[in-house]
Structures are given as structure tokens and as C-alpha cells.
Amino acid sequence: MVGDFRVLGEISNSETLAEGTSIRDLARVTRVYGGGKWRKRKGAAMIELPNGSIRYAEIHWYEAHGIGRRELKFKRYLD
């Protein structure tokens, strides 16, 4: 579920799902955001949806040192 949302507070329980060449979209991510040691990660956080509701959700994103988090998307609600 990709959409507009805002992360409220910290992302907890974060873990790495894939690193380097194990990332399916590595070529695209590198082309769009630049080279780096890319990781696909997941975690949980409170998010605010466009309609104003606040939910606890699982979030996935790409991350590289010096570049930061990119393409945050929520996968499912945890509450």
C-alpha cells in the first residue's frame, strides 16, 4: 500500500530485509538516488493517513549511509 502518509515519532523494531545485490530494485535505486551501500529495511511506526486517522503500521524503505531513508511505504496495519 503505497500512499501519502506521515511517520509520527520513531520507527521501532527495524531490521534489514536485503543488502546490496540481494535488493531486486538496486539498479533503479542507485540510478535515482546515487551509489551507496543500499539496504532494504522494515520497521513499525505510528503513521498519520491523509484522512487524519492514526494507525500503527509496518513500513518498508530503502536506506544508504550518507543518503538516508528513501521511498517509505506502509505494507500493513499492525493494530
Task: Output the pLDDT for position 43.
Answer: 98
Residue labelled with grid coordinates 550518507: 66
Do residues 58 and 34 make contact, with C-beta atoms less than 8 angstroms apart? no
Q: What is the pLDDT of residues 6-62, one digit of tens each?
A: 999 999 999 999 999 999 999 999 999 999 999 999 999 999 999 999 999 999 999
Domain count, the chain: 1
CA dist., res. 79 & res. 42, Å (int): 17
Q: Identify the band that residue 4 occupies on the pLDDT scale cut at 50, 70 and 90.
A: confident
pTM above 0.85, yes or no: yes
Owning domain of residue 27: 6-77
The answer to whether 11 and 45 have CB atoms below 8 angstroms apart is: yes
Looking at the domain assignment, is residue 1 inside a domain?
Answer: no
Q: Return the closest-CA partner of residue 57 out of 71, 73, 40.
A: 73
H helical segments located in the chain: 26-33
